[in-house]
Structure formats: structure tokens, C-alpha cells
Chains A and B, each alone.
Chain A
Amino acid sequence: MRRWLLWFLLVPQGFLLAGFWRDVGLPAIDAAVLCCLFLALFADRNALPWLLLGVAIGRALVDEASLPVQILVLGVPTAVLVPMRRLFSGQHWAWQALAASLCAVTIPKLAGLCGRLFDQPSASAHLDGYAVLRAALLVPPLLFVVRRLPPCRYFSEVV
């Protein structure tokens, strides 16, 4: 129970923390890509739906689209990557960088698609090449740290 409380308390605020990080002039980190990658590669599969809900709530704080759109935008790349976990069995940095850049491309594209389909456009639908590069370079080392910290640590799957 405690781990779930921590998840729903801390993870949504992580999106605001990423905004604070950007405000102080540090290189912007896409919290959505970071969370998506954690869910896809390291999170407990049985807990995935509720973990995804916590992440979607966080993204709904900083993005104009509604909560179900956030679930789709974050859930679809996660759902595609989860069955390919075996490919990432070595969890090599290069694979993680590749997965991070795929997420950094897919998330804005999905946000744009959902915006058009459900009439909920958002500013996050804009694809930025530098954001993809930053995701590939920064997300894997950050993920290495984050998954050893609570609450991610409590939901890491051991194969």
C-alpha cells in the first residue's frame, strides 16, 4: 500500500519538477519519455495499468489534453515496447537510447493524432529534433538513477 501511495504522490509531481529543472536553466528532460521507458523496460507488468494512470495524471498537470488522452499517448508506446523487453535483456545503454528516442518521437506524434481525433490539441504535439537527441543522451543515465530510487524501486521487475 505504501508503495502505491508513494507512486501517486511523487510521480505526478515529477512532471512539475521537470518544469522546475527547465526553469533553472538545466537541459530540459521529457518526464513523459523517462516514465514511458521505465514502464516499458523495468516496471512490474502486473502493476502497469495503475502505474500508467499515475504517470498520465502527472502529464495532465502540464499538458492541455485530458487524462484519457494522456493514458493513450503514454500507454501505446509502452504497450508496444513491453513485449520487446527480451530484446533489451542486456539493458544495454545503446538499446535504451534507441528506445528513448523512439518514445521521444512517438509521444508528440500520438499527441498530435489524438488531438485531431478527439479534438484535444496540445502544445506537446510539436516534434523537436533537439528534444529527441536530449532524450537519447540524458534519459538512459537518468533512468539508471531513478529506478534505484523510491517509488520506482518498489515496482522494478526482477526477471
Chain B
Amino acid sequence: MSGAWGVRKKPAAFPVGLYSMLLFALCWLTLPAVFAPVERWLVGCACLVPRTLSAWFGEPAAARAPEAQQRLQELSAELRRRIAEHDVAGASKLLPATYEPICCAVLDAPRDKARRGGGGQPGELRLDHSYAEVDGCCELVTKGNALLGFLQRPGVGIADGDRPQDPARVMLCNHRAARPVYAEMSMPEGAAMHLVVAAAAAVDPAPLRADLWEDPYRAARLGRGGQPVHTETVADATVLVPSGLELGRTRVWGYEQHGADEAVAIGVYVVPPVEPRALSFVVLWRQAAGPRAAGPPELRSGQVQRLPATVYDLPGVAYGRHLLVVGQAVPDGAAVVDNGLFLGTARGLAFGTGLMTSFIASRHRWSLILMPDDPRERPRELEGEILRTEHDDAWLRWCSDRWSTAHERLLPGYLFTGSNGACCPAGLWIGRAEPHPYEHDLLRVTTPRERGPRAAQVLVAGGRT
């Protein structure tokens, strides 16, 4: 059966070495940072063969036509203008006229268990502005007319290890250490009831919980949820929160009314209007000397450096895997772009190479922004994942903010990246998005794909474009 090289062995019952390797792989997964250089080197070595052969793949294609580049820049500028306009509207009417808005991009919403807030959702955000840059801003962090959370100060509370030059941290209302907020709920019969809204537990069904009621007896008879909850100003509060900022809508857990038996509410939760994992931009407020300037504030470009790279198709490219030749180290998750067009994310390897997975082949959860064609519509911040791919199209399952009504269909438009880490900033154009004809939570995403080697850029955190 085998040749002279065959190994003659007595059959052993169990391959202990193999089991040890599986155990080692589990250790590897629990300490990824320790073993990352080993992985980069091992897979990087395997990439040397296709890298050597890439010389025969042909010359990289030239950059996109100037008209196409111009169109992408226009779309990006339009997105930034509409985001700034819609994010500021709402809260600007409720805050004093001397407060001017500062639009900040979200770098990261940590999802690790230690920093998970109420409802199991992220309880913190990191912004693209440093503490020093937002010095003088009030603590309120808003989006539209919703209160998201509170800006932290370096060296205090959860930011005790932060320095003034570090990215500013926002404690969302569902953070376990967040201060409770005085609120008012519109009752079904038309009256209002005062309450205190605090962070729920991580295992609770919603991020916020109604804590103290003005009239617990009436609250216990709440039959159904969906009532809007807004902030209320209390004179002796430590932080002045203006009245009317939206906290969310109620979700009631308990027994519904049956015949003569009255409804009994066991727990009342508040579902915020914003999905924290989908957040890409938030608004801070700073007291200015004079009245607020007219028009939306400008959004600042991301602090990223562009490394020139060449993207080569690997065999089986239809499945979205590419070889990336950069010439220097690339961080994992860095965005690969072709003059504003998002191609995919990189996995950095040794020897100045990397592997790129195209957007439509990736199965990660993405933070995305959909800019509807109708210029009056607000851009939607979505969280979604690709379910399946057909040629150059992908089907994306999304969940959006809860300002959208139930089963609301998204409008067709252009899809951009949201905030997916420091190396994958918001506002990179992905492609065209159309809603599925029957399933309201599916989007068909069409991306332009070109075959063959082409010049690209890898975005790396640090520096400025």
C-alpha cells in the first residue's frame, strides 16, 4: 500500500498528541495576543508562495477614473452633511441656545463581558476626539432628540486610567455605574407619571429599567408597553438634564388583563431608541460665548494613515479571499479601500503581506450606515451581517435603531461603513442597497467588483489623512 517512506507503527488506541494540539488551540484562543505573532509568521510563510507567484498575475490596475472618484467624494460629503444635520436636530431645540454641537465619530463600543451594560449591550463608547479636544463640553451626549449617556472626565470614575490625550469615553445610560435619570412617562390614558430610570442588569430583556415610580400602584397596573419616556429636569440634580430628551419606550413584563382580572406589571423596562452597537456618530455640547452658529457642524475626517498596497486575487476569488502586499505590518481589521471604495478588511501577516476578506464574503457583524436616496430621509445606522452571497450581490440581515416603527421597510440608497474600529472608520462607500421585496429585515447589497491585481490603500490608525 505505501512505499518505502511508509511508517510502520503498532496501532495505538488514542492519539494523545492530537488531543494535546486541540487543547493547545483552546489556550491559543483564550490568549490571542500572546500567540498572534506565531500565527502571523506561520500563515505569512504560507503566503510567500502566492506572493512570489503574484509577479505573474499581471500589473496592478490604475486608480479609478477621476469621474468615479469625484462621485464617491460627493456621496461621502453628502452623507456627512446629512448625518450632522439629523443628529443635531432634536436636542438643539431642548438645550440652551448658547450650546453649540460637536459631532464626534465613535471609534469603538467595547463588547467584552466586563464592560457590558444593561440588556447585555455595550455600556461604553470611545470617541475619535480626545478628552483634551472636548474639554469644556457638558456631560450630555445626544443623538437626534435622544439622550445616550454622559461624557467622562480623565482620571475620574470608569476613566480613572485615561489621560487627557486619550480618546474620550462616554458612559451610556445602561452602564452599571451610570447615574439614574429623572424621567416622565406618558400614560395610556393621557396623564404623565414621574419615575427614575436606571441601568438594567446584563441579563434583563432591555438596557434600562424603571426604578422608582411616583405612583407604584398605578405603575403595577400597566398592561402594555410602548409608552414614551422622556427626561425631566430636577432642580437639585447633580447634572442638569433638560426636559424632553427621549430615553426610550417602555416594555412591560407581567400578566396581561384577562376578563375581570387586572393587568399586573412585574417589571417595567425602557428600550432606548438607539442600538449602541450600530452607533457611528454622537453629539457633544459645548457652551459658547455667543449664540449657536446656523447650519450643521462639520464632521472631522478620521485620524488614519493610508498605506499603499496591492491586492491580488487568490485562486477561488469568487469566495472573496485576496492576497494583500503592503510592505509593512498591517493591524488586523484594517480597512482596505480603493480611493474611497471599501473593498474589505485585512488580516495582517509577517513579511509585509496580509489576507483580505471582501465585504460580501465576510460574515462578521458590521456597523453600517444607509443613506436613502430621498435627501429628506435621515441616514440609518444599522448593525448587520451578510447571510449569503450571489455573484457580486450579498443579502444582509440588519437591525436598526428603534426610531423606526415595527416592520418598517428601509428605503433604497447607498451603503457605507459605520464605526468598525479605529482602522475601519465610518463613511467608506460599500455599494448600493435595495430592500428585499418580502422580508423587511433583509437588504440586497450590490458592490462593484473588479478582477485582477489593483492598487489600494490600507487604513491604519494614527496620523491624519
Q: Which residues of A contact B (CB under 8 A)?
A: 3, 8-9, 12-13, 16-20, 22-23, 44-49, 52-53, 57-58, 60-64, 66-69, 71-72, 75-76, 78-79, 82-83, 85-86, 115, 118, 121-123, 125-126, 147-148, 150, 153-159
Interfacial chain B residues near A125, Cβ < 8 Å: 363
**Among candidates A47, A61, A126, residue contacting B355 with C-beta atoms closer than 8 Å:** A61
CA distance A17 to B47 in the complex (A): 13
Q: Is A45 a contact of B355 with CB atoms below 8 Å?
A: no
Interfacial chain B residues near A66, Cβ < 8 Å: 29, 32, 39
Q: Is A20 a contact of B6 with CB atoms below 8 Å?
A: no
Q: Is A64 a contact of B42 with CB atoms below 8 Å?
A: no
Interfacial chain A residues near B314, Cβ < 8 Å: 16, 19, 61-62
Knowing A20-B316, A49-B17, A123-B389, the reply to whether A71 touches B25 (Cβ < 8 A) is: yes
Q: Is A123 a contact of B2 with CB atoms below 8 Å?
A: no
CA distance A119 to B226 in the complex (A): 33
Q: Is A61 a contact of B2 with CB atoms below 8 Å?
A: no
Main SS class of interface, A? helix
CA distance A9 to B28 in the complex (A): 23
Knowing A61-B314, A79-B19, the reply to whether A153 touches B6 (Cβ < 8 A) is: yes
Interfacial chain A residues near B7, Cβ < 8 Å: 44, 46-47, 155-158
CA distance A9 to B47 in the complex (A): 10
Q: Closest CB of chain B to A14's CB: distance in Å? A: 11
B260 on interface, CB distance cutoff 8 Å: no
Q: Is A45 a contact of B12 with CB atoms below 8 Å?
A: yes
Interfacial chain A residues near B25, Cβ < 8 Å: 68-69, 71-72, 75
Q: Closest CB of chain B to A120's CB: distance in Å? A: 9
Q: Closest CB of chain B to A57's CB: distance in Å? A: 5
CA distance A19 to B8 in the complex (A): 34
Interfacial chain B residues near A126, Cβ < 8 Å: 388
Interfacial chain A residues near B1, Cβ < 8 Å: 156, 158
B317 on interface, CB distance cutoff 8 Å: yes
Interfacial chain B residues near A61, Cβ < 8 Å: 43, 46-47, 314, 321, 355
Q: Closest CB of chain B to A48's CB: distance in Å? A: 4
**Among candidates B15, B28, B45, residue contacting A79 with C-beta atoms closer than 8 Å:** B15
**Among candidates B2, B15, B43, residue contacting A57 with C-beta atoms closer than 8 Å:** B43
Nearest-neighbor residue (CB-CB) of B19 within chain A: A79
14 A–B contacts from the bound complex (CB under 8 Å): A12-B46, A49-B17, A61-B47, A61-B314, A66-B39, A67-B28, A67-B42, A68-B25, A71-B24, A75-B22, A82-B18, A123-B319, A123-B320, A157-B7
